[in-house]
Structure 1
Amino acid sequence: MPESTIIALNISTLKCPVSFGGDFGILPLDAAPVPDVLSTSVKTKFYALLIPLAGTGELILDGNILEMRRGRVFFINYSQVLRLSASATFRGKLILFTRSFYNLIYTGNRKIKNDTAFSGLPAFSDFRRGDFADFLATVSDITTEASRQQALNRETVCLLLKVTMLKFIRASGGDNYIGFKTNRTLAYVEAFETLVNHNFRQLKRTSEYAEKLNITPNYLNSIVKDRLDLTAEQYIRNRVILEAERLLLNTSLSVTEISFDLGFSDKSHFGKYFRKATGHSPNRFRHKFVNGQ
């Protein structure tokens, strides 16, 4: 399927029975077939943990066919293309969360300081039986806490989510997990991600970020591609488009106002940039998702 026809999927679109707005959600997968929106190819605008509990099926992630079975937990990254196909007996759970939700609590610990620890994570981890039971216990705690209407439940869920991700990372390789190794390359990539998050409105070229990091654009592209499986330009564009989509779907700002907010010189430049990335004009994107047409 051409990329231009693949819709971008937000957490709010899935209408999770347990959720915190568009930042966090838990979606049970307890009935066949899987939700229609997940049975066609969609591009994620969130992180997710897919946890099969019974039955079998296939997760097609960026064109790779992965077998779903109990004890195998999948990590889904931003801007991946996914599709689910499950047996009639399949049961599972999706935990979905945004960068901002995961970064709600800063612990001071490098290994879990923010979502940059996810760089290079494998698509899935196979848990040993006892470890999987322990993992599910934490997932149950998240579900219980997220269902409560109590003070600080968002913060509590965020901390439990960090525990869940650490258990996933440990199952994928423990202390040898490359994302935990401190080296110059990883430091550059983390600094680049931070710079993009703070400056994407003003700076949209790889060379501008390379200059701030005192490295060449080619080297920046190489290390970002190695760590994130995206070019630096793609990473910058994805951040701009993510913010553009958020403003189009969640505010009443005009397209012209949004274009200026995102640092474009005019509406036309923004429109071309947005269409190249999504296959839709900003107005068409807003109409399609807000009105469901």
Structure 2
Amino acid sequence: MSKEKIPIYNIANLAAQPLDSGDFMIESLTSYVGRQPLHIHNAHRHTFYHLVCFTGGKGSHSIDFIQWPVEVGQLYFMVPGQVHSWNFDVRPEGYIIHFTEGFLRGFLLDPNYLDRFSFFSGHAADCVVRLASPLREKVVTLLAEMTDEFHGHSGGGVNPDLLRTQLVQLFLLVQSGVAAPRADSTAATTQKQQLLLALRKLMDQHYKTLRRPSEYAGLLYITPNHLNSLCRDLLGRSAGEVIRDRVLLEAKRLLTNAGMTVAEIGYELNFQDNSYFNRFFKKYEGVTPDEFRRKNVMK
């Protein structure tokens, strides 16, 4: 049985005109959607960071199996590895950007710079942002300027460093509109958020083998009670539920791949007993793995 995973695209697969290094592109969304093959509307992953700003259109989009309607002024941000799909009723308008981690690595001294932006957390609930005026207009104007620069319409050839500067400016503008700082925000709150980010990175690395809060607490050098309190304070869920949800998310991602049987997916996720995997999935998702697959499998 083939072990081929859900389709994964790089920028060169999708861009009409990437930079020479293939690590950045920006394009009008109407143009981009119009020239893409139909299969990208089914669930797939990217090897790069991906963001979209909608200025028009109707339909929906899904990030890690959570669906949102297309709305004017909405932006969504994705990190490498997330699963998404589109379903447009009216061809959308706006802008789309793809960039790799390497595009900014040599430009910024801090290799973890993107971690400061909540919309790059890699968690679907944080990925979608709706901007109000006048910030929305500022963002759209900046995206138009970036598009002109990328396609050489500004004269003098493409300047990658100018695009890098504009990209960081875009992130800062959007983050300023996500949420105003709380009056009671403290260093302790920031420390909790950094711990949560570290937990999420550890779960991404070890979700197949580590399932107990005590194991992650040990890696974070905190007690299991501290970890549980952290998750309840910031997410409203226990540490065990957060860890379980990460396993469930990966199960759903793999189930969109018709090249793996349910038993193979259970084994891939370290469920030695296929019946246990089926019970686990149905208990927390409400349907069996086969039922979920029938609803979400690529056509």
Same fold (TM over 0.5): yes
Q: Which of 140, 147, 171 is equivalent to 1:143?
A: 147
Q: Which of 157, 172, 193 is equivalent to 2:163?
A: 157
Q: Who is 2:69 aligned against?
A: 67
Matches within 5 A, 1:14-25: 14-19=14-19, 21-25=21-25
Equivalent-residue separation in structure 1 for 2:197 and 2:88 (angstroms): 36
SS in 1 for 2:179: helix
1:84-119: per-residue Cα shift (whole Å, max 9, x none)?
Answer: 1113442232111223323443377x9x93334343
Matches within 5 A, 1:131-280: 131-148=135-152, 153-176=159-182, 183-188=190-195, 213-215=220-222, 276=268
Q: Who is 1:46 aligned against?
A: 48
Residues 51, 98 of structure 2: 8 Å contact kept: yes
Residues 106, 114 of structure 1: 8 Å contact kept: no
Residues 47, 97 of structure 1: 8 Å contact kept: yes
Equivalent-residue separation in structure 1 for 2:47 and 2:107 (angstroms): 20
Give the root-mean-square deviation of aligned CA atoms. 4.6
Equivalent-residue separation in structure 2 for 1:177 and 1:20 (angstroms): 46
Aligned length: 230
Equivalent-residue separation in structure 2 for 1:103 and 1:214 (angstroms): 29
**Relative contact order higher in (CA < 8 Å, ≥ 6 apart):** 2
For residue 136 of structure 1, report the CA deviation from its aligned partner: 1.0
Which structure's CA Rg is the greater one? 2
Equivalent-residue separation in structure 2 for 1:19 and 1:105 (angstroms): 16
Equivalent-residue separation in structure 1 for 2:22 and 2:64 (angstroms): 23
Q: Who is 1:92 aligned against?
A: 94
- Segments of structure 2 that go 5 or more residues without pairing to the other structure are 236-240, 251-263, 270-299
Q: Who is 1:127 aligned against?
A: 131
1:204-251: per-residue Cα shift (whole Å, max 9, x none)?
Answer: 989999667533689779969978x9859x79xx9xxxxxxxxxxxxx
Q: Who is 2:12 aligned against?
A: 12
For residue 5 of structure 1, report the CA deviation from its aligned partner: 4.8
Matched letter for residue 104 of structure 2: Y
SS in 1 for 2:166: helix
Residues 29, 94 of structure 2: 8 Å contact kept: yes
Equivalent-residue separation in structure 2 for 1:223 and 1:64 (angstroms): 24
SS in 2 for 1:87: strand
For residue 62 of structure 1, report the CA deviation from its aligned partner: 1.4
Residues 34, 84 of structure 1: 8 Å contact kept: no
Equivalent-residue separation in structure 1 for 2:40 and 2:184 (angstroms): 31
Equivalent-residue separation in structure 1 for 2:81 and 2:149 (angstroms): 28
SS in 2 for 1:140: helix
For residue 195 of structure 1, report the CA deviation from its aligned partner: 9.7
Matched letter for residue 14 of structure 2: L
SS in 2 for 1:48: strand
Matched, 1:115 2:122: no
SS in 1 for 2:137: helix
Once the two structures are aligned, what percentage of the paired residues are identical?
A: 20
For residue 22 of structure 1, report the CA deviation from its aligned partner: 3.4
1:18-74: per-residue Cα shift (whole Å, max 9, x none)?
Answer: 435332222433156572342111023222221122221211111122111221111
Equivalent-residue separation in structure 1 for 2:184 and 2:9 (angstroms): 29
For residue 187 of structure 1, report the CA deviation from its aligned partner: 3.3
1:107-146: per-residue Cα shift (whole Å, max 9, x none)?
Answer: 77x9x93334343672322222322111111112222333
Q: 1:186 to 1:129 in 2, by over 3 A?
A: closer
Equivalent-residue separation in structure 2 for 1:168 and 1:216 (angstroms): 35
Residues 34, 86 of structure 1: 8 Å contact kept: no
- Segments of structure 1 that go 5 or more residues without pairing to the other structure are 239-271, 278-293
Matched letter for residue 162 of structure 1: V
Matched letter for residue 22 of structure 1: G
